[in-house]
Chain A
Amino acid sequence: MTELHHQTLAELSAGLRARRFSSVELTQHFLSRIERMNPALNAFITVTGEQALAAAAKADQQIAAGKGGALTGLPIVHKDIFCTDGVLTTCGSRMLSNFTAPYDATVVARLSQAGVIMLGKANMDEFAMGSSNETSYYGPVKNPWDLKKVPGGSSGGSAAAVAARLAPAATGTDTGGSIRQPAALTSLTGIKPTYGRVSRYGMIAFASSLDQAGTLTLSAQDAAMMLGVMAGFDERDSTSVDTPVPDYVAALGQPLAGLKIGLLQEFFEKGLDEANGKLVRDALKVYEALGAKLIEVSLPNLPLSVPTYYVVAPAECSSNLSRFDGVRFGYRCENPVDLMDLYKRSRGEGFGAEVKRRIMTGTYVLSAGYYDAYYLRAQKVRRLITDDFARAFNEVDVLIGPTSPTPAFDIGAKTDDPITMYLNDIYTIGANLAGLPAMSIPCGFLGGLPVGLQIIGPHFAEAKLLNVAHAYQCETQWHKQMPAGYE
């Protein structure tokens, strides 16, 4: 039998149902790997070993009784941004380093109801702000493909854990690329669904109009399995959309002939590493061989994505993070002398530098005299970008291009200049601004480091995206490669 940690969720699911191994064995297998290998990676903030084994035992009973579903008994990791009842939920921050969540996020509850086992909570950039997992209060996460490199962010812990095969899958969140970019840097399949497809209830808010929950998995098929359970209307989230959830797994095998793939002119312009670009074009050849047509399209307002995002996201986050004030929960400074002191020191000591930077930026762009010039204007540009995408989708079915301008960079290389760091999101941000579903799948290596291919679709076209990704994964082996030392 193949090693348990080489198998996808789909394979493990079949294995459990065929009684080739039990959920307890499977869970223990990953817990042992975590114990041995996580210290070098720092992918986990909390490991919930006892809880996981207890849940696994229950899952085994279910399976033995012929009950449960496709996900029953499968262990995964949750990004530490999701509230997990009775379990430490830190959001990668000192501010929540003492916070035991009193409830489960909807995503967590739905997966748990489907029988999924939680191995632990994954490290992440503080409050999801970052593209390298270097802003975490709990220290940087290392990329299993090269321990000197970043795994990407903000879902860096989720990515590193799955890439190192410490778990077969993980949840993540994506506000400006935080699932797709780490997936690209660690050779995983990442999906950010349409805004409103998955409930945000219990997902600690960074930028409310951009945040979306998704997955990091070893294959598109696995993503389809998880998304089918996670997606769907939640009455506790007013921004969740009440539209039926298709059977993503069933839709995987659709033939691609006639698929119209848009190549974004703006994506292939300067700034894209030539070698990186070549890998993307090679990937496109695979699609052409499958019967897809390539069409050049242009989104003229797309270059404004990064400045637009870096006005809107900080604005929303500056407001969302006001609740962290040392009063009702979370970090509180010692011996506050009065209210102002309580606020200043709790927040000053509780938040890291990048979070403070974004709170300041956000406060500024919303302030009297600047709101019109910054926030309001950015939202208008956002509308233009969204309209550009809509126009493109009249011509094509999906857009394909690179996920990240470069492969993984050195830890510490970009921390001095936030702007350079922000430019990592240059290809991913557009989809968040427009609320579109997008994926990243492995498409090759540059100097031994993974490169990701991004696929963007129109609203609620997850089934199509997964289908397109799956087709590529049937023809290629990139997604099956494992980092040295973690096989």
Chain B
Amino acid sequence: MSFETVIGLEIHAQLATRTKIFSSAATAYGAPPNAQANLVDLGYPGVLPVLNQAAVRMAVKFGLAIGANVSQRSVFARKNYFYPDLPKGYQISQFETPIVAGGTLDIVLEDGSRKTVGITRAHLEEDAGKSLHEDFQGFTGIDLNRAGTPLLEIVSEPEMRSAKEAVAYMKKIHTLVRYLEICDGNMQEGSFRCDANVSVRPFGQEKFGTRCEIKNLNSFRYIEKAINYEVARQIEIIEGGGKIKQETRLFDPDKGETRPLRSKEEANDYRYFPDPDLLPVAIDAAYIETVRQTLPELPDQKAARYIEKFGLSVYDAGVLTASREMGDFYESVLVELPGNEKLAANWVMGELSGALNKDGVEITASRIDAKRLAGLLARIVDATISGKLAKEVFEQMWAQGKDADAIIEAKGLKQITDTGAIEKVIDAVMAANPKQLVDYRSGKDKLFGFFVGQVMKITAGKANPAQVNDLLKQKLAG
């Protein structure tokens, strides 16, 4: 029997508002425990929630960006359950009437194929606090700084059929929310969290299999591993004649496996009902339109523009538009160096990204800014230096924080383009290697590379490669 994997993702994106969704406490990460929880967040007797309009605006932005239906009337509902990091004993969320319904997201897989994934809904809710089970001698420390932070819960249709599709979807959402500046996407800090609902069914079967929810997925790598493990686990059970138990599981990154959540007793009946402390969120078409006006160029639009106007490949366009900052950087380079789209693309995706990753630095804090990079590329274009040498110059630029020209000057790296000079070197090489010359002329074509190498050695790599090739060919021919 062969099985089909069915995956749906629930993503919780913390909205980048200054203050919480229902209180005026700050949302900044990293404060001492319970320093950013006010009476409303603490659920004290008598307090009441007041909706942060910025959160609504961000949700609407997201809805418009995925082509969804933005509800002109949505309702907050209470999700009731008891846990110490949920001070009121209920979470204010949205149930029957979410602010965003429907929508789609186009994803591109590594092999270049495309897929459209449906999004069921996106709704606003408040985050709970944190429970810290270590470091408290058998107790659990409760930090309520996070309680009340606005979340946008984005629920996909169960339309992904492989871990790779799930990763592509998650990455695209990650890119999108950062483009829209509604979420900083910082997975280490918990601003962007993903739960995966995974099930399998025999190919051709319409009915969905029993699914398990996997939590604690805070990196793209983990998601892929977790899903693959879970799929294999489920298939093994079914093939062994067993049944899948519907449960919530945690991914253990050290062991690479999923395991059931510490028995969290019976399934909760959340007893959802509309929150009587809050009015329905009423927004009109005019408001939605004003939000639409603030939408930036979206990743897909930008990628399409790069493909059409710059002639980049689908893959390259995808990489360059993975973040707004990278796209902006790239285009800034092009401003300085019009007409060199492919060259600039290669360098931004290649050397620059490599250096950024190595130093763990964001492109906005790059040690070589767009202008400087353009300056370096300009020297390749005007043949002052070869592409190969340029890489060395790049490293120096990164280390010293200087312009390309300064380094080329200082190290005397200017390319040798003087035909006469090159011919002189070629003559010397030919004279110094008579045996190879004879072998080459009698048919050993491979020795061409040897001669190139010798010329480059003598010129310390500065000879213009194209000219070397041409002149060598001529001279070796006799």
Contacts and interface: CB of A to CB of B under 8 A. Distances in A.
Nearest to A340: B265
A202 B78 CA distance: 20
Interface stretch (B41-49, B189-197, B367-375): B41-49
Contacts of A321: 89
Interface in A44-101: 82-83, 89, 91, 96, 99, 101
B48 A328 contact: no
Interface in A362-384: 363, 366-368, 371, 375
Contacts of A315: 273
Contacts of B142: 327
The dominant DSSP class at the B interface is loop
A201 B46 contact: yes
A462 interface: no
Contacts of A420: none
Interface stretch (A152-160, A233-241, A436-444): A233-241
B45 A204 contact: yes
Given A238-B51, A339-B84, A208 B271 contact: no
Nearest to A323: B43
Interface stretch (B168-176, B240-248, B275-283, B412-420): B275-283
Contact of A209 (B44, B48, B276): B276
B314 interface: no
Contacts of B42: 328
For chain B, give the interface size range.
Answer: 20 to 34
A103 interface: yes
Nearest to A209: B276
B50 interface: yes
Contacts of B269: 367-368
Contacts of B43: 323, 328
Interface in B251-281: 269, 271-273, 276-279
A200 B49 CA distance: 11
A91 B279 CA distance: 26
Contacts of A322: 80, 82, 88-90
Contacts of A237: 48, 50
Contact of A236 (B50, B82, B90, B273): B50
B92 to A, nearest CB: 11
Interface string B34-58: 0000010011111111110000000
B209 interface: no
B87 interface: yes
B45 A91 contact: yes
A59 to B, nearest CB: 26
The dominant DSSP class at the A interface is loop
Interface string A225-243: 0000000000111110000
A238 B279 contact: yes
Given A319-B89, A319-B90, A375 B276 contact: no
A89 B49 CA distance: 21
A109 B39 CA distance: 17
A106 to B, nearest CB: 9
Contact of A371 (B48, B49, B84, B273): B273
Nearest to A91: B45
B377 to A, nearest CB: 55
Contact of B46 (A83, A324, A363): A83
Nearest to B269: A368
B76 to A, nearest CB: 10
Contacts of B273: 315, 319, 366, 371, 375
Nearest to B34: A328
Shortest 8 CB-CB distances between A and B: which pairs?
A322-B89, A366-B271, A209-B276, A208-B276, A202-B46, A323-B43, A204-B45, A83-B46
29 contacts: A83-B46, A96-B45, A101-B45, A101-B46, A103-B39, A200-B48, A201-B48, A202-B46, A202-B47, A236-B48, A238-B49, A238-B277, A315-B273, A322-B82, A322-B88, A322-B90, A323-B43, A324-B45, A325-B82, A325-B89, A327-B87, A328-B87, A343-B82, A363-B271, A366-B271, A366-B273, A368-B269, A371-B272, A371-B273
Interface of A: 82-83, 89, 91, 96, 99, 101-103, 105, 200-205, 207-209, 235-239, 315-316, 318-319, 321-325, 327-330, 339, 343, 363, 366-368, 371, 375
